[in-house]
Amino acid sequence: MTDKRTTRLMAQAAVIAAIYVVLTIVFAPIAFEEIQVRIAEALTILPIYTASAVPGLAIGCLLGNIIGGAPLPDVVFGSLATLIGAAGTRMLRNAKPVIAVIPPIAANMVIIPFVLRYAYEIPLPIPLMMATVGLGEMISCGMLGLLLYKALLPHRSRVFKE
């Protein structure tokens, strides 16, 4: 890998992380708790375009959770859920985009309800929180992520040079 390419990929990851943090903080009132739509999760579509999105999203989630005042289990496991989802999207980058958004939705549906129960002490049943988190992820990753995909598609070669 050339130095120029390495620098470009690191810059892409940093910009994606920064955007994730800003979106998490700006939309914090709807980004945490048992019913959540984390607008920043729309960015989990970006691994379709660039591998640098995977660490960028994980670092952005980590920093967004820290700055947002999330408890430690949310910082750790929320960031892990985003990392797993982003890596899954990257692995499915050649599939239809509607398929590629499934990993972040699934990872958050499975992991975040336990974070809500044990870190935030929300007494709702885990299956109910799986449904509410899943619905929020379908809105952010599914609807908003696919809109972002379509908006970036004509510009992908200029924006995401690898």
> Integer distance in angstroms from the first to the last C-alpha of the chain?
10
User: Helices 102-118 and 126-137, interaxial angle, to 10°?
Assistant: 140
pLDDT, position 122: 94
Q: Which domains does the chain have, with CATH numbers?
A: 12-159 (1.10.1760)
* Residue 149 contacts residue 97 (beta carbons within 8 Å): yes
Q: How far is it, in rounded angstroms, from Cα 47 to Cα 57? A: 9
The residue ranges of the chain whose pLDDT is under 50 are none
81-95 CB burial, b ≥16 within 10 A, e <16: bbbbbbbbbbebeee
Amino acid at 88: G
pLDDT, position 1: 57
H helix and E strand count, the chain: 10, 0
